[in-house]
Amino acid sequence: MKIRLTINSPSVKVQATELIKNLPTDSSHEVLIRARKKSRSADQNALYWYFITIIAGERGETKDAMHYEYKKRFLVHIFERDDPEGYGTTIESVRTVYRAGMKNEALHLEALIISLTSTTKAGVKQFAEYLRDIEQDAVEKGIYIPRREDIYYEAMGITKC
């Protein structure tokens, strides 16, 4: 039996407690309780693709090309910083291959890593940082992005007064 609950209300907490109390003791069970890492929000996703669509249009690029470019320029570095033992080690290995003179191999590995880097793996704070980086890049390139007030503040983690 495998049951996964996200305790986000008193009723779910009661349900979890009841499940544990009613577990049979004739076999062993594992109970793991940990803080749940929030992934990016629907508002963040909507704002991201809004940004990408406008920037791609202004630059004459496809949305896929902009998505790839921004993952390469910003998201890879966020993940490298926040996961130095996993993601960071992988990135450093590619740099080592490059410095060893195997530049084509390193560039191939880099492209593979960027393609496999998924925005869905970003937490809420990471994704807000990623969005700020993209927005700043657009400003620096003179690309005007009309503000989507309906989702902007929530996506960026800004509390409106």
- pLDDT tens per residue, range 106-159: 999 999 999 999 999 999 899 999 999 999 999 999 999 998 887 888 888 877
Question: Does the residue 5 lie in any domain?
Answer: no
Q: Is 60 left (phi over 0), alpha (psi -120 to 50) or beta?
A: left
**pLDDT tens sequence across 74-109:** 999 999 999 988 999 999 999 999 999 999 999 999
Question: Does the residue 20 lie in any domain?
Answer: no
Average pLDDT over residues 31-49: 80
Question: Does the residue 60 lie in any domain?
Answer: yes
Q: Please count the residues of the chain.
A: 161
Predicted pLDDT at 37:
56
Which range (16-20, 71-75, 119-123) has the least confidence? 16-20
Q: Where are the alpha helices (DSSP H) in the chain?
A: 10-21, 42-59, 63-70, 76-82, 87-99, 103-116, 124-140, 152-156
Question: 58 is in which domain, residue-wise?
Answer: 42-156
Sequence-separated (6 or more) residues with CB below 8 Å from residue 60: none
Question: Does the residue 48 lie in any domain?
Answer: yes
User: Is residue 160's pLDDT more than 70?
Assistant: no
Question: Does the residue 12 lie in any domain?
Answer: no
Average pLDDT over residues 56-85: 97
Question: Does the residue 99 lie in any domain?
Answer: yes
Decide: 142 and 37 in contact? Cβ < 8 Å.
no
DSSP string, 5-26: ----SHHHHHHHHHHHHT--SS
User: Is residue 39's pLDDT more than 80?
Assistant: no
Predicted pLDDT at 129:
96
How far is it between the farthest Cα atoms of the chain? Answer: 68
This prediction's pTM: 0.73
Domain count, the chain: 1
Residue 41: which pLDDT band, with cuts at 50, 70 and 90? confident
Buried-state track 61-89, b at ≥16 Cβ within 10 A, e below 16:
eeeeebbbbbbbebbbbbbbeeeeeebee
Predicted pLDDT at 155:
84
User: Is residue 57's pLDDT more than 80?
Assistant: yes
Average pLDDT over residues 19-46: 81
User: Is residue 12's pLDDT more than 90?
Assistant: no
Rounded to whole angstroms, how far apart are CA atoms 44 and 26? 47
Question: Does the residue 29 lie in any domain?
Answer: no
Question: Does the residue 3 lie in any domain?
Answer: no
